[in-house]
Amino acid sequence: MAITLVTGGAGFIGSNLVERLVERGETVRVLDDFSTGNAENLAGLAGRVTVHRGDIRNLDEMRPIIAGANYVVHLAASTSVARSVSDPLTCNSVNITGTLNVLLAARDAGVKRVIFAASAAAYGDHPQLPRVETQEPCPLSPYALSKVAGEYYCRLFWKLYGLETVALRFFNIFGPRQNPDSPYSGVLSTFISSYLRGKTPAIFGDGEQSRDFTFVANVVDATLRAVAAPEAAGRVINVGTGVPHTLNQTVALLNKVLGREVTPKYSPARAGDVRYSHAKIDLARSLLGYEPSVDFEEGLRRTIEWQRAAFI
């Protein structure tokens, strides 16, 4: 079986991917500095994954860890938009220099393909909806810029050095192992936590803002397809559901699923907030054969069950 290195494999998306790779009988390595990742996320896989505690900013340290790997899924990053605004230098060193290090190590080790976790943040507040990969990037934060830079480095390593790369623009991902107690966690984990703890969810703005909320199993599926899809090399591909939901619709759905009549409290919109966002996923369908298999309501149900067991 293939050997796959998952950088950021102890994180939310990474641990869900590692779990699926192990279930498929792949040999899996993880490189993670545990800055936001958690060993608990991999607890159920003890003895079936080789975990390396390390930093992608250290190229020499990474080289022996990548040696022999067939594929790399590069998820490690400083993932907070807010933190990138207050500390752009750390964001730059982790997300841009770290990604360059991963690509250099992969190229030199003869890795067949690198999958890069890009972000819908690349679209910024571009007026066109749905978001399509041909739109001009419009990064509004150092985090978003770092992700666009990662995309360009991926394309360069394919064109210039022949290293196969695929950049996946993840939209708003949610699901088990997204830590609701993190200040940078997604709105859905925060809302579910409020419901389960008897608190009132807080909506920043009027609640009519929309997102393409995508359950993590869909992202894992798209990523595994991107590893093998022959036509995907050198491409940037949206990963979402193509279906937007507003926060007001989300609260109504949570009330339905949990049998509650919760009225959220509203406060002023967050500065720099993107108003509307959802993906065009035609390219993922054609290049990867991707089709989201878990819809929003089912994803909410599974996330509620996980949060209820993990945190309550």
Given 71, 123, 143, 153, the catalytic residue: 143
Nearest to 166 by CA among 266, 265, 71: 71
Q: Given the complex with ligand UD2, which of 185 and 303 has the nearer CB atom?
A: 185
Closer by beta carbon to ligand NAD, 262 or else 304: 304
Chosen residue from 21, 42, 121, 224 binding ligand UD2 by CB under 6 A: 121
* Least CB distance to ligand UD2 at residue 41 (A): 17
265-267 and 213-215 beta bridge pairing? unpaired
Q: Which is nearer to ligand NAD, 48 or 266 (CB)?
A: 48
Characterize 221-259 residue by residue with b for buried, 16 or more Cβ atoms within 10 angstroms of its Cβ, and e for exposed: bbbbbbbebeebbbbbbbbbbbbbbbbbebbeebeeeee
Q: Which of residues 250-309 bind ligand NAD (CB under 6 A)?
A: none
Contact of 95 with 87, CB cutoff 8 Å: no
Task: List the one residue from 29, 74, 131, 211 that touches ligand UD2 (CB under 6 A).
Answer: 211
Q: Binding string to ligand UD2 for residues 81 to 100, with x set by CB under 6 A, is what?
A: x-------------------
Q: Note whether 260 binds ligand UD2 by CB under 6 A.
A: no
Q: Looking at 126-134, 169-177, 249-257, 299-307, which segment touches ligand NAD (CB under 6 A)? A: 169-177
Q: Is 143 a catalytic residue?
A: yes
Task: Provide the CA 275 distance to its chain's centre, in angstroms.
Answer: 20
Q: Which of residues 182 and 255 has its CB atom nearest to ligand NAD in the complex?
A: 182
SS3 168: strand
Per rule CB under 6 A, is residue 34 in the interface with ligand NAD? yes
Q: Where are the beta strands (DSSP E) in the chain?
A: 3-7, 27-32, 50-53, 71-74, 113-119, 164-170, 172-174, 202-204, 210-211, 213-215, 235-239, 245-246, 265-267
The binder of ligand NAD chosen from 92, 141, 172, 307 (CB under 6 A): 172
Asked if 77 interacts with ligand NAD (CB under 6 A), we say yes
Q: Which is nearer to ligand NAD, 168 or 232 (CB)?
A: 168
Q: What share of the chain is helix, strand, coil (3-state, %, to 5)?
A: 45, 20, 35
Give the residue numbers annotated as catalytic, written as ranges: 143
By the criterion CB under 6 A, which residues form the site for ligand UD2? 79, 81, 119-121, 172, 184-187, 190, 202-204, 209, 211, 247, 270, 273-274, 277
